[in-house]
Amino acid sequence: MLHVRMEWRSHMWRAGGSYAIKSPHPVLPTPLLYPYTHTHTHTHTHTHTHTHTHTHTHTHTHTHTHVTLQATVEEALLFSARLRVSSELLPAANAKAFVRHMMEVVELGPLAHRLIGWGGPSGGLSTEARKRLTIAVELVANPSIVFMDEPTTGLDARAAGLVMRAVRNTVATGRTVVCTIHQPNRDIMDNFDELLLLKPGGRTIFFGALGEKQTSLVSYLSSISGVGRYEPHMNPAEWMLEVTSPAAEAGLGLDFAQVWEASQQARAANQLIEEHCGGYSSATAANRGGCDGGGNAAASKRPAAAAAAAAAGNGGKVAAADGDVEAGGGGGGALKGNQDFEVDKVGGNEAANETRRYAQLTHVQLWLVLHRALVSHCRNTTYNGMRFTIAFALAWILGSLYWGRGMKRNSIVGLMDIMGAIFSGVLFLPMTNLMMVMPQVMAERAVFYREKASGMYRPAVFAAAQGLAEMPFVFLESILYVVIMYCTIHFEFTSEKALWFWLYIWFALMICTFMGMGFMSMTPNMPAAIASGSALVLLWNLFCGFLIYRKDIKPWYLWAYYGNPITYIIYGCVTTQMGDVWDEHVDLGNGAAMPVAAYVRDTFNYEYSMRGWIVLILIGFMAVFRAATYLGITRFSYQSR
């Protein structure tokens, strides 16, 4: 049983009931749902839990579905279950059985192996199936109470009926479901047991059982003097909103909230609250998050029992007489034997609270999040397929443009051709990676915000997995790009020079990919990230030492030269290709000549001995952009409700 008390309103949700929150004001119920999910008194026999622990007593489903689009339905639910229910309560071996049980509850079984996708013409789940998936993602945390924000918004009558059937199935498992509902639809409202009707400002107009075909609601409102007559052909929900609107209230000269407070129904509700939370006070709720004093209400054990039965097959035993549960369940609070389960209050041991904040240890979180990211990348042919195609095309374009010029080092023009090929190769494909990764990070960020709110994993884990998942694909991209470009331009065919060249190109791709991720994580939207990234790349392009030689850059701009990863990538590629060539000479004109290595050293200030240090410098740039991603994920939030 959940008791909510916030200033001037106090309500109690019964276990195994369905509740609608509605208001004459069209946008009021949704913002009121957020404090309900955080400010409450949750009463169990022998059980007190706090929302910061990994035993999820309640969950909140949003209007929009935020899940990884390249996952299947079953994979998305398994991911949620593994990260939101500890291994002690739900062993990995039993997770799939538990998830399949929850899929049957919301009738997603036939869609278990369907990719979620974008929906619509692009393929994937339909809108109503996505709504049911959103519900299932929360159910696999095995909560006692599920808060749903507008579960039927944007659906036609048939789709809304399917979603409401999933809601009723959820209630049938013994869970409490609380929904905000905006449409005054008779069929939807008939699916709820009780209604919380709020006036603008959030004060209660009515809270209680709807009755068959909403007769109890109609009876209460009709008993108020002056309220318009209800006719049998009317839609009770529409009539309710009309007669309780601010205009109708002003016309009657009444305050419906005051009328409710003076009613017999309100007194009965308050008496019930006092019976179950007798010693409760606002200060106690703020400090302890639980009922103070005696009178703890016995909560339904059915959610835990359902989880136990699903997890253990038919072997889980549930004792109906005394509420003991012998099989592990999920976050709903399955108990073994008659033991008490208490967790520290928020003001207690902070270190202990932190360790209990997540259901899984950090290394398990990292493995699960990284595995999902790798699978998602493998299936994301639009993203990875496109960048491999671009790498292939750009390599052939550059190869055909500079065909066979990689060994023509006997003239200044020949050397500048080689420099131009390296400059183009270092800049073009990495710039493409920079731009292509931003939409992916933007899409993943919405999923991250939702999963962060659910307490699935540490933000640092998401940041690490995001970067690690890119590395194997960038590695393959660099090999494809370098093999074609190196062979067609005909750089010197020695294994050492080829490996050095590939290493620097790989680092260039990694740096620009991580840079795009960092800018997208630090900025509120795509245009801001693109503008910031493009401006920096243009600055790098200008001060990399190719368009303007190092010796010609003014002293006050040298910071732009030395703080530039493109500088070091070109430096590394050029010096490993030509910085050790002392047996070939460059024709300087007028019969003068000098060794290729000496010309590179004197003209560009490139030292062959720096090639190893350049690797360390480039690793430093990668670390900076990974740190920017971490900072953006952990310190900035651009989530809008």
| Edge-to-edge strands, sheet with 2-6 | 9-13, 2-6, 41-42
The pair phi, psi for residue 404, each rounded to 5°, is 70, 15
Task: Please state the rounded mean pLDDT for residues 519-541.
Answer: 93
Distance CA 438, CA 444 (A): 10
- The more confident residue out of 87 and 74 is 74
Q: Is 481 exposed, middle or buried (0-12, 13-18, 19+ CB in 10 A)?
A: buried
Sequence-separated (6 or more) residues with CB below 8 Å from residue 397? none
Q: Please, what is the angle between helix 73-84 and helix 92-105, to 10°?
A: 120
| Edge-to-edge strands, sheet with 194-198 | 58-61, 145-149, 176-180, 18-22, 194-198, 204-209
Distance CA 510, CA 467 (A): 9
pLDDT digits (tens, 9 = 90+) for 570-581: 999 999 999 999
Mean pLDDT across the chain: 80
- 3 state SS for 488-516: HHCCCCCHHHHHHHHHHHHHHHHHHHHHH
Q: How many structural domains are present in the chain?
A: 2
Task: Please state the rounded mean pLDDT for residues 119-142.
Answer: 85
Domain that holds residue 215: 2-304+341-355
Task: Please state the rounded mean pLDDT for residues 365-373.
Answer: 96
pLDDT digits (tens, 9 = 90+) for 406-448: 888 888 999 999 999 999 999 999 999 999 999 999 999 989 9
324 within some domain: no
Distance CA 186, CA 236 (A): 7
Distance CA 85, CA 355 (A): 14
316 within some domain: no
Residue 483's pLDDT is what? 96
Residues 347 and 371 reside in one and the same domain: no
**Taking the mean position of all CA atoms in its chain, how far away is CA 637?**
12
Say whether pLDDT at 246 is over 50.
yes
Up-side HSE of residue 116: CA atoms within 13 Å toward CB? 21
Distance CA 215, CA 22 (A): 17
Smallest CA-to-CA distance from 432 within 540, 574, 537 is with: 537
CATH code for position 205: 3.40.50.300
DSSP state, residue 520 = H
Residues 347 and 383 reside in one and the same domain: no
Residues 481 and 620 reside in one and the same domain: yes
Distance CA 518, CA 523 (A): 9
319 within some domain: no
Residues 348 and 428 reside in one and the same domain: no
Q: From the CB of residue 130, how many other CB atoms can be counted at a distance below 10 Å?
A: 18
Distance CA 585, CA 599 (A): 9
Q: Which two tokens stand for residue 63?
A: 């209007």
335 within some domain: no
Say whether pLDDT at 278 is over 80.
no
Say whether pLDDT at 31 is over 60.
no
Domain boundary among 324, 355, 386: 355
Q: Is 42 exposed, middle or buried (0-12, 13-18, 19+ CB in 10 A)?
A: buried
Q: Which two tokens stand for residue 589?
A: 């004109």
Say whether pLDDT at 304 is over 50.
no
Task: Please state the rounded mean pLDDT for residues 585-608.
Answer: 89
Residues 471 and 438 reside in one and the same domain: yes
528 within some domain: yes
Distance CA 636, CA 519 (A): 12
Q: How confident is the model at residue 181 (pLDDT cuts 50, 70, 90)?
A: confident
Say whether pLDDT at 245 is over 70.
yes
Residues 293 and 389 reside in one and the same domain: no
Task: Please state the rounded mean pLDDT for residues 345-363.
Answer: 62
Q: How confident is the model at residue 64 (pLDDT cuts 50, 70, 90)?
A: low
The beta-carbon contacts of 229-236 under 8 Å, at least 24 apart in sequence, are 235/184, 235/185, 235/186, 236/186, 236/189
Residues 390 and 440 reside in one and the same domain: yes
Q: Which two tokens stand for residue 557?
A: 């701009």
The pair phi, psi for residue 455, each rounded to 5°, is 70, 35
With tokens 């795509």, the residue in question is 526
Q: From the CB of residue 613, how many other CB atoms can be counted at a distance below 10 Å?
A: 13
Smallest CA-to-CA distance from 467 within 632, 626, 635 is with: 626
**How much of the chain, in percent, has pLDDT values that exceed 70?**
78
Distance CA 265, CA 208 (A): 8
309 within some domain: no
Residues 262 and 375 reside in one and the same domain: no
Say whether pLDDT at 315 is over 50.
no
Residue 338's pLDDT is what? 31
Task: Please state the rounded mean pLDDT for residues 22-42.
Answer: 53
Task: Please state the rounded mean pLDDT for residues 59-71.
Answer: 72
Residues 286 and 382 reside in one and the same domain: no
Residues 274 and 396 reside in one and the same domain: no
640 within some domain: no
Residues 452 and 586 reside in one and the same domain: yes
The one-letter amino acid code at 533 reads: G
527 within some domain: yes
Q: How confident is the model at residue 55 (pLDDT cuts 50, 70, 90)?
A: very low
Q: Which whole-number Å values give the CA distances from 592 to 409, 586, 595, 598, 599, in the listed order?
A: 15, 8, 11, 13, 12
Please answer whether residues 498 and 491 qualify as being in contact, where contact means their C-beta atoms are separated by less than 8 angstroms. Answer: yes
Q: 107-111, 267-271, 469-473, 584-588: lowest mean pLDDT where?
A: 267-271
Q: How confident is the model at residue 348 (pLDDT cuts 50, 70, 90)?
A: very low
pLDDT digits (tens, 9 = 90+) for 497-517: 999 999 999 999 999 999 999
Residue 436's pLDDT is what? 95
Say whether pLDDT at 636 is over 50.
yes
Q: How confident is the model at residue 25 (pLDDT cuts 50, 70, 90)?
A: low
Task: Please state the rounded mean pLDDT for residues 463-477.
Answer: 96
Residue 356's pLDDT is what? 65
The dihedral built from the CA positions of residue 62, 68, 69 and 73, taken in this order, carries a sign that is: negative
Smallest CA-to-CA distance from 596 within 611, 581, 613 is with: 581
DSSP string covering 154-170, please?
Answer: T--HHHHHHHHHHHHHH
Residue 557's pLDDT is what? 93
Residues 348 and 402 reside in one and the same domain: no
Q: Which two tokens stand for residue 565?
A: 């990863």
Buried-exposed string 15-38: b where 16+ CB fall within 10 A, e elsewhere: bbbbbbbbbbeeebbbebbeebbe
Domain boundary among 355, 390, 420: 355
Q: Is 346 helix (H, G, I), strand (E, B) or coil?
A: coil
Residue 26's pLDDT is what? 54
**Taking the mean position of all CA atoms in its chain, how far away is CA 117?**
15
With tokens 């960020």, the residue in question is 445
Distance CA 493, CA 510 (A): 25
